[in-house]
């Protein structure tokens, strides 16, 4: 039981800790293994990091032209650090409120019309829509849980109660 809880927390940490920071210009990802070794990757916006068959973490780097597959059972910890700041002004960055949310989510500071997608923590696309400006979004049909809200300019975390 404790091992399944730890694995679930690891997956949540990996999902939230990797997908969100990758919106920055460059992110250093350090994967510490159970045997004490570690691997460091410098990720850009073009690089990919995803799960394969819920058993492996896959890191595909465009610039280094390398692809690495690491079994999740061998990973002890993943750390992400931004290595370059973004030029985006924090005031104009899209934001969500209230968060946590019950039924109606408000997204602010969108420029023009953009596609917004809501993903469950396990990577499933739950909802996708065109939004503009400051808009109310009905999410009453979504079950309680952690979600990632992705726009072309950023990825935000959301908790649905």
Least Cα distance to 148 among 132, 131, 160 occurs for 160
- 26-78 confidence digits (pLDDT tens): 788 888 999 989 888 888 878 888 888 878 888 888 777 888 999 988 988 88
Domain boundaries, the chain: 2-84, 90-160
**Cβ(109)–Cβ(94) below 8 Å:** yes
Q: Both tokens of residue 114? A: 């953009």
CATH of span 90-160: 2.60.40.3080
pLDDT at 84: 55
pLDDT at 103 (0 to 100)? 93
This prediction's pTM: 0.47
**Burial, 119: exposed, middle or buried (Cβ in 10 Å; 0-12, 13-18, 19+)?**
buried
CATH tag for 2-84 (out of 3.30.1360.20, 3.40.50.1820, 3.40.50.1000, 2.30.30.100): 2.30.30.100
Tell me whether the CATH fold assigned to 2-84 matches the one assigned to 90-160: no
Question: What's the pLDDT at 25?
Answer: 53
């Amino acid at each position: 039981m404790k091992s399944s809880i730890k694995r679930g927390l690891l997956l949540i940490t990996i999902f939230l800790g990797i997908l969100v920071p990758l919106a920055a210009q460059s992110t250093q990802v350090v994967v510490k293994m159970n045997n004490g070794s570690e691997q460091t990757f410098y990720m850009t916006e073009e690089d990919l990091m995803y799960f394969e068959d819920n058993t492996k973490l896959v890191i595909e780097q465009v610039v280094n032209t390398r692809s690495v597959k690491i079994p999740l059972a061998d990973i002890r910890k993943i750390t992400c650090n931004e290595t370059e700041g973004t030029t985006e002004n924090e005031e104009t960055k899209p934001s969500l409120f209230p968060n946590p949310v019950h039924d109606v989510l408000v997204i602010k500071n969108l420029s023009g019309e953009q596609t917004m997608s809501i993903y469950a923590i396990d990577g499933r696309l739950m909802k996708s829509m065109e939004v503009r400006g400051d808009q109310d979004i009905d999410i009453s049909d979504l079950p309680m849980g952690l979600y990632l809200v992705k726009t072309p300019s950023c990825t935000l975390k959301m908790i649905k109660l």
